[in-house]
Amino acid sequence: MKRLRWSYKAKLLVNFTALFALFTIILIIFQQHREQEYRVELLETRLRGFADMAATGLENGGMHPDSIAMRRLSVAMPSDVRLTIIDKSGRVLYETGNTPAAAMGNHENRPEVRMAFTDTEGSDIRFSETLGKEFFYYAKAYGGFIVRVALPYDSHVRDFMKADNIFLWFVLLLFPAVVVALLYVSDHFGKTVESLRLFVQAADRGLVDYDHISFPNSELGDIGRSITKKYRQLEESNRRTIMERERLMRHFHYFEEGIAIFAPDRRKLYANPRFLQYVNSLLDRPTADVAAIWEHPTFAPVVEFLNLNRGNRQQAQQGVPIFRFTAPSGGCYYSIQVLIYADSAFELTVSDVTRVEKNKLLKQQMSNNITHELRTPVSSIRGYIETVLDCKGLSEERRRYFIEKAHNQVVRLTDLIRDVALITKVEEAPETMQRETLDVRRIVDDIAEELRPQMEERCMTFDCAIRPDVRLQGNYSLVYSIFRNLMENSIRYAGEGTAMHAECYNCDAEFCYFTFYDTGCGVDEQHLARLFERFYRVTEGRTRDCGGTGLGLSIVRNAVLFHRGDISVRNRKEGGLEFLFTLHR
């Protein structure tokens, strides 16, 4: 059975009305009682006058029933008033009427008499057994006797003793007006509470319409407005927090590095897919339980670092506790970093730095190779110049011969420095390379014209089948270096009387597809995979003998990769070496 639920306004009205009604009833009862006490006091005052008059007469004329004072007193008293004289022992000395005093018995235990003994005066309403009717008794002590005056408690006295009902009628007439006032007050307070109730219901559903929420201009209304303002700020703060958390989780999910968040007890709170992938590459066998890393030797430095910094708040305040190290696994290198938060939770990051490590090794190898390659031309230049300087008797022909040799080595040295600078720029700062719309056919024709003397010297021909409308967005220097190095490579190694051919055999919305080949002798298959390596030589001394730097094809590969393309090399069935590559449009 559904329980009836009263509104706040109804509860407030009922409570206020009940409280006012209770107060009114108490006030009426008190007023009726106080009015009755007032009537009793009036009646006691009247009877007190008779008692005082009787006591004065008795003190002057004696207490004998037949005394003149008693006869006068009896005449002076109203006919309906009974007068009784009682001594200190409760014995009746005198009683008006025909009842003998000796027959009335002892009055010591009468309520009004006991009160007169203790409080000087007293009163009571009770039934008289002597006369057989109800009386209002009043007694007062005077020296050695008590004067008791009694008045029949008939309808006239009862009417006199009744409280006045004017106040009752006034309250009853006032009550509806007060109820109306209470209705207004409860409605005033109820509007605020009702607005708050509707606001809470809307907040639970997440459908708060702040533009249509209103509160009355009162203290409760001010509180309601303050609550909605604070809630709106909190809601906005929560919304921003949720958005930031969603962004952070999405960032973590697609992060290039593996990242996991752990509680202080090393319980996993979050781990992105990349972290699970890298961790399984480091562990001996794949597992979905991230907790397995704490038992593996690879992560022993992490465990040691966490143990050293456990509960170390002072160090956390002085600086961020962070630790990094590199772990090899299966030919790959992983950088592992642990960062401890202020609440002792921590973050574990795993990064694949294989490429970085290999690039470091390649740079070291390249530095060594450059040093080795520079030593030869520098030594040759020094030897030639020293020969010219030291041998004074050299003929002009021999002197010119040595100077030309030195010049050739300077040219080779210049080309080597230029190629190294170009490779470094492509690899280290590709964003600095400007792009523009390039006419590939025109670039190739310019190169062919520049190399025409070398081709004629070796009786070689060049056929360019690239259409004039081939255009692409790229870097001029790099596209130029692609075709220049390919043609120079063929001129040096294809052999005399051979031919070269360049063609763009296909173009689509994204790429242009090129082929470049010569009709020379080609290269042994074992060397094809390494032709694009820096300073790689098919035969030792071949590059130096032909004047190359050993970096030409490496530049070609990097230039193709810069243009988001790919390159491969193969031996042609008809003879010669063919390069197939793509360049993004």
Q: Which residue ranges make up each domain of the chain? A: 9-161, 167-248, 255-352, 357-428, 433-584
- The predicted structure's pLDDT at residue 289: 85
**Percent of the chain at pLDDT above 70?**
80
- The predicted structure's pLDDT at residue 348: 92
Cβ neighbours of residue 294 under 8 Å, at least 6 residues apart? 266, 303
**Percent of the chain at pLDDT above 90?**
15
Tokens at residue 320, please?
């961020």
- The predicted structure's pLDDT at residue 106: 83
Check: CB of residue 101 under 8 Å from CB of residue 94.
Answer: yes
Average pLDDT over residues 375-399: 77
Residue 44 banded pLDDT, cuts 50, 70, 90: confident
Check: CB of residue 433 under 8 Å from CB of residue 562.
Answer: yes
Please say if the pLDDT value at position 536 is more than 80: no
Residue 316 banded pLDDT, cuts 50, 70, 90: very low
Which CATH class name applies to 433-584?
A: alpha beta
Q: Which of 440, 480, 572 lies closest to 488 in space, CA to CA?
A: 480
* More confidently predicted of 1 and 523: 523
The hierarchical CATH code for the domain 9-161 is 3.30.450.20
Check: CB of residue 195 under 8 Å from CB of residue 48.
Answer: no
Tokens at residue 191, please?
């509007």
The hierarchical CATH code for the domain 255-352 is 3.30.450.20
pLDDT tens across 76-111, in order? Answer: 777 778 888 888 888 888 787 666 766 677 888 888
- The predicted structure's pLDDT at residue 156: 74
Helices and strands counted in the chain (H then E) = 17, 17
Q: Tell me the three state secondary structure of residue 429.
A: coil
Please say if the pLDDT value at position 448 is more than 70: yes
- The predicted structure's pLDDT at residue 362: 61
DSSP label at residue 4: P
Tell me which architecture the domain covering 357-428 has in CATH.
Answer: Orthogonal Bundle (1.10)
- On the question of a common fold for 9-161 and 357-428, the answer reads no
pLDDT tens across 261-296, in order? Answer: 999 999 998 888 888 888 888 888 888 888 888 988
Average pLDDT over residues 140-157: 83
Burial pattern 262-289, b for ≥16 Cβ within 10 A else e, equals: beeebeeeebbebbbebbeebbeeeeee
Average pLDDT over residues 346-367: 73
| Maximum average pLDDT range among 48-57, 141-150, 201-210, 492-501 | 492-501
Please say if the pLDDT value at position 515 is more than 90: yes
pLDDT tens across 559-570, in order? Answer: 888 888 998 999
Rounded to 5 degrees, what are φ and ψ at 380? Answer: -65, -45
Residue 441 banded pLDDT, cuts 50, 70, 90: very high
Average pLDDT over residues 213-219: 72
Burial of 331 from C-beta contacts in 10 A (0-12 / 13-18 / 19+): exposed
- The CA distance from 153 to 40, in Å, is 12
- The CA distance from 82 to 408, in Å, is 163
> Which range among 334-338, 372-376, 379-383 shows the weakest confidence by mean pLDDT?
372-376
- The CA distance from 347 to 509, in Å, is 45
Rounded to 5 degrees, what are φ and ψ at 506? Answer: -165, 150
Q: How many CB atoms lie within 10 A of CB 546?
A: 12
- Terminal C-alpha separation, the chain: 77
